[in-house]
Structure 1
Amino acid sequence: MKQLGHNSDFNEDKELLQLASTGDTKAFSLIFHRYSPKIYSYALKIVKSATLAEEIAQEVFVKIWNLEAQLSEIANLDAYLRVLTRNHTLKVLRRMALEIKASRLMAYDYQEDHNETEEYIIFKDSEKILNQAIEKLPAQQKLVYSLCHQEGLKYEEVAERLNISKLTVKTHMQHALRFLRNYVSTHTDIAIVVILLTLLAEKH
């Protein structure tokens, strides 16, 4: 594939966008075949999943097609698609993270035939990294984190149980979460980071 920086490619993109904006399916098909491998590769670098990257590439082009008349207003198609792909990919990852967060306890009830599903594998990877990070917390932070995040207690309930102030509980949690976020951000790829950071949202 040629670099978009070449004037010939840039001008051709503009012409194809203009035609596609009028509903020309042939022009849109040319855009699709020119850029779908690039979008797929970019998404794959982020999600580390061929199936998910392929779905993202298809969804990105559905978004592009739905722009219709606005297609002619795109100044730089390569840059536009890159930003659109990145934003959509992160949106997909956040959605996965929320789904996993909402049903993470169900993962323990998965039957053997579910053990190789993509969501389960990502969940287990994220769980392993998070547990490694938790083990490195100072004892008091680890205890407070466990009570708040793993047992679901509120700050005031933890304060009462440990006979410390609510402010102390909150401080321990803030330090623990800061450490855990930094740890997972440097020990895994973006897909798992997004999931873990969603799981590590501070509770009150």
Structure 2
Amino acid sequence: MKKKSEQILWNLFREGDRKAFENMFLKFNPILFTIGLKMTSDRSLIEDSIHEVFIDLWNKRSRLPEVDTVKYYLIVCYRRMLLLYLKESNRNVDINEQSFVLVDSEEYKQIEDQLNTDTISKLKHAIEELPSRQKEIIELRFMKSMSYDEIQEIMEINYTSSRKLVYKAINNLKKHLKGNSFNLVLILALLS
């Protein structure tokens, strides 16, 4: 139901409804701010980049796509904007182990060009071979970019167990893909 109401809000926003725009900003601003704190301690830069994302979205609203999950669409837009701000200000990104996998857009393009469909196909096959709980956690963590807190809630396991299960799933993928020379976590991020 929550997802449906977010989609309705998103569609109203795309049609130019200012109240929907305001509600969306109020709803997602705290989430985006938290993500920003994982990348930098500069609160004003975080706020500026959030505002810039929403201004950009408003200006492009009629051309925006329909999305399944508004939250994750906004997170992707925000991460790109904040990385751009950090790059322009020549600041290092402060990434801790709980933050999202971050890839510079130029690096992303080069890596994406280097990855052939065979490698991605092998990885998808390896994911399908995982036990169901490991497959689920790989999908939640890497394909849907969920935090460990969100994962623990969805899978009804504690925080430590969710981290251990991701570790175990990645190790199983590495064993299954032994001999392939690529960064597994990076490829999982590219699949998302």
Higher-Rg member (1/2): 1
TM-score by length of 2: 0.46
Which structure has greater helix proportion?
Answer: 1
